[in-house]
Amino acid sequence: MDRELRISVIGSGSWGTALTKILTYNVSKVCWYVHNEVAIEHIKDTSRNLNYLSDVEFDTDRLILTNDINEAVAYGNCLVLVTPSAFLSSELSKLTVSLEDKTIFSAIKGIEPNSGLIVGEYLHKFYNVPYSNIGVIAGPCHAEEVALERLSYLTIACIDKQKAKIFAEAMTTYFVKTKVSDDVIGIEYAAVLKNIYAIAAGIAHGLGYGDNFQSVLMSNSIREMRRYIKRIHKIKRNINNSAYLGDLLVTGYSLFSRNRTFGSMIGKGYTVKSTMMEMNMVAEGYYAVKSAYKINNSHKKKSHTPILDAVYQILYENRRAKKVFAELVNHLD
């Protein structure tokens, strides 16, 4: 990857808005794909995103705004994907330019639902992107706290550590500290799983379980995550590092967490459909549950995943949350 970065951000939700803001501190021009023309005009007029993190003010002289994904991809030698996983396929289907020579960092914390693949595997299989050109941006980091310029930490993962280092430099500011890793697969699966466990934490809260149970649930969640990832990609990793445990904790406990909020509403008796309508935002964990459950069950010797199984039963088998959690508590320690 050329050290002279030409970065294009693909996605304009909360996380896409936050990452674009970070990048404008160090990159002279950032191309930003915003599919809504009205939102683009609002950003030009007010320096703020109409729909997400509206308190964030941009230096619009540093932005190249477009609602043409091909223009954005053609501009960048480094792409940052921040679309919801459920819409990744439909967005990329608009492409007429190749991704093969691009370095791509995914900030998507979900599984592409049609293929059941994490984003890196999806890009490699369907768009011929070499694994050495694929990276992941991991937390723990909430978009809302980035907007407030509160101290945050990011892990940039790529098997080509030089590419990770170059991109990490572009993401480092006085309120964002970065580190690099080569555990792309492990960190990407961790980002998927932590959303599922955050839904579980939310369900527990909605059902009236207290802090004591929540701490046991999170302790069991990190062990379940370790077993799951080890089955998928067995390498030496410290599951207690920020990209794994830290991201799990902030997503499981924070009031900013949409996955926790989603779970809390389910625990209080809302249906999945009514919860989605009420939130008017994508909870990545909902889509991830089905794919992660299917992946685990595809193994001859599957991982022991009582928390994942419980959330799946509630969301996809329409079992009552109260009854499922009454059974789950006997599988935790």
Q: Domain segments of the chain: what residues?
A: 7-182, 186-331
Pick the CATH number of 7-182 from 3.30.70.2190, 3.20.20.70, 3.40.50.720, 3.40.1160.10: 3.40.50.720
Residues near 271 by beta carbon (within 8 Å), at least 6 away in sequence: none
* Dist CA 235 CA 105 (whole Å): 21
Note the pLDDT tens digit of each residue in 77-133: 999 999 989 899 999 999 999 999 999 999 998 889 889 899 999 999 999 999 999
pLDDT tens string 184-206: 999 999 999 999 999 999 999 99
Contacting residues for 297 by C-beta, under 8 A, at least 6 apart: none
* Helical segments of the chain, H only: 14-23, 37-46, 69-75, 85-92, 119-127, 143-147, 161-171, 184-207, 211-232, 247-253, 258-267, 272-279, 284-297, 306-316, 321-328
Helix axes 258-267, 306-316, angle to 10 degrees: 70
Report whether 12 belongs to an annotated binding site. Answer: yes
What is the reported pLDDT for 2?
A: 53
109 is in an annotated binding site: yes
pLDDT for position 248? 95
Collapsed DSSP state (helix, strand, coil) of residue 59? coil
Straight-line distance from the first to the last Cα atom of the chain, in angstroms, rounded to the nearest whole number? 46
Establish whether 175 is an annotated binding residue.
no
Query: Residues 253-269: pLDDT tens digits?
Result: 988 888 999 999 999 99
186-331, what's its fold?
N-(1-d-carboxylethyl)-l-norvaline Dehydrogenase; domain 2 (1.10.1040)
pLDDT(149) > 70: yes
Assess contact for 200 and 217: CB atoms under 8 A: yes
Q: If you average pLDDT over residues 232-257, what whole number do you get?
A: 91
Per cent of the chain over pLDDT 90 is: 81
32 assigned ligand-binding residue: no
Could you tell me if 35 and 12 are in contact, meaning their C-beta atoms sit under 8 angstroms apart? Answer: yes
Tell me the average pLDDT across 131-137. 97
14 is in an annotated binding site: yes
| Structural tokens at position 131 | 């694994």
215 among the known binding-site residues? no
Average pLDDT, the chain: 93
- Look at 67 and 141; give whichever has higher pLDDT: 67
**Cβ pair 269, 278 in contact under 8 A:** no
Give the residue numbers marked as catalytic: 194
